């Protein structure tokens, strides 16, 4: 005697368990990968930043407007600082986004906190990039000999 | 919350505390980064104003703060490398505890080198 058993839960899968195009795609996986890749690059960039600014020469006593102008006269340090700005801000923003998602339980609170975070991030990245690209060694108050 | 937390694999052990340390140092570094971009932006406004702000960073009390900040950066950097090994190295999860001890030893050595150099400049008679 044979009994036919219907396929379990056929056509009745709760939509929240369905995977596919409706999900948020691979954003979270890419964010996870970005944290590892940018982390490694940031170690090189920030260690180089700390060594050149605080460890060699006069260290922090030698930092002044002239010191910054000297560094940004070189395209290498301009690129170094620009890369450091973008990677550190995106790495930090994604970290804080994760923390907000973990601890802010109300949907409205999460949305507000992340909104404030993203506005601050865009402001700091745009401001920092403009400062590097439009740097003027002869800005107001400059005591440099070429001015 | 379970009262028998000592019986879990994760809670209260090295894995949890390194996670807490990574979060706390990450937030501290991010907040400093926001301030640091704003103070550096003064080079675009007025050279004298930038020098005035930087001179506050050169005082002994601020140097202690900077030393604390670098302590946070070094822990976050070395523990971040440990996280990458745990995620990508086959034996990573097996040796995560030993890796944390490696992180702490490296952290103490590099931090001591930084602190001696930085504080002797900041407290010295330059």
The residue extents of the domains of chain B are 9-123
Nearest to B46 among A50, A55, A141 (CB): A141
Q: Do A128 and B50 touch (CB under 8 A)?
A: no
Interval A85-124: pLDDT, tens: 999 999 999 999 999 999 998 999 999 999 999 999 999 9
**Regions of chain A with pLDDT less than 50:** none
Domains of chain A: residue spans and CATH: 28-133 (1.20.1300.10)
Mean pLDDT for back-to-back runs of 10 residues, chain B (126 residues) = 58 87 97 96 94 94 96 97 94 89 96 95 76
- Which distant-in-sequence residues (6+ apart) come within 8 Å of A81 by Cβ? A49, A71, A72, A132
ipTM of the complex: 0.89
Which one of B30, B54, B118 has the shortest CB-CB distance to A63? B54
C-alpha to C-alpha distance for A67 and B55, rounded to whole angstroms: 13
Whether residues A64 and B54 touch (CB distance < 8 A) is answered with: yes
In sequence order, the 6+-apart residues with CB closer than 8 A to the CB of A147 are A137, A138
A143 — contact with chain B (CB < 8 Å)?
yes
Rounded Cα distance, B11 and A138, in Å = 57
Closest CA to A46 of A78, A79, A88: A88
Distance CA B89, CA A36 (A): 13
CA distances from B42 to A139, A141, B45, B54, B118 (A): 10, 11, 5, 10, 24
- What's the rounded Cα separation, in Å, for the pair A12 and A23? 18
Give the CATH number of domain B9-123; options: 3.40.50.150, 3.30.470.30, 3.40.50.170, 1.20.1300.10: 1.20.1300.10
Give contacts of A99 with chain B, Cβ < 8 Å.
23, 27
Residue-level pLDDT at A21: 58
Asked if B83 and B22 count as a contact pair (C-beta separation under 8 A), the reply is yes
Task: Please indicate if any CB of chain B lies within 8 Å of the CB of A101.
Answer: no
Q: How far is B3 from chain A (nearest CA, A)?
A: 22
């Amino acid at each position: 005697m044979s009994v036919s058993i219907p396929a379990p839960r056929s056509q009745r899968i709760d939509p929240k368990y369905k995977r596919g195009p409706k999900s948020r795609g691979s954003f979270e996986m890419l964010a996870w990968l970005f944290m590892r890749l940018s982390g490694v690059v940031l170690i090189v960039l920030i260690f180089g930043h700390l060594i050149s600014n605080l460890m060699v020469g006069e260290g922090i006593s030698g930092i002044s407007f002239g010191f910054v102008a000297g560094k940004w006269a070189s395209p290498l340090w301009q690129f170094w600082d620009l890369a450091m700005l973008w990677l550190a801000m995106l790495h930090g923003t994604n970290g804080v986004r994760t923390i907000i998602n973990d601890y802010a339980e109300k949907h409205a609170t999460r949305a507000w906190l992340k909104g404030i975070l993203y506005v601050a991030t865009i402001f700091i990245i745009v401001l920092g990039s403009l400062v590097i690209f439009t740097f003027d060694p002869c800005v107001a108050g400059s005591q440099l000999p070429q001015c | 919350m379970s009262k028998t937390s000592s019986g879990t694999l994760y809670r209260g052990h090295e894995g949890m505390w390194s996670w807490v340390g990574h979060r706390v140092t990450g937030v501290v570094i991010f907040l400093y980064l926001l301030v640091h971009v704003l103070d550096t932006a003064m080079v675009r406004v007025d050279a004298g104003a930038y020098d005035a702000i930087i001179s506050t960073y050169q005082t002994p009390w601020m140097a202690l703060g900077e030393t604390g900040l670098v302590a946070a950066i070094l822990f976050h950097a070395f523990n971040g490398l440990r996280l990458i090994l745990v995620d990508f190295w086959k034996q990573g999860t097996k040796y995560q505890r030993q890796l944390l001890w490696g992180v702490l030893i490296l952290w103490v050595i590099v931090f001591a080198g930084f602190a001696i150099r930085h504080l002797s400049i900041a407290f010295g008679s330059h």
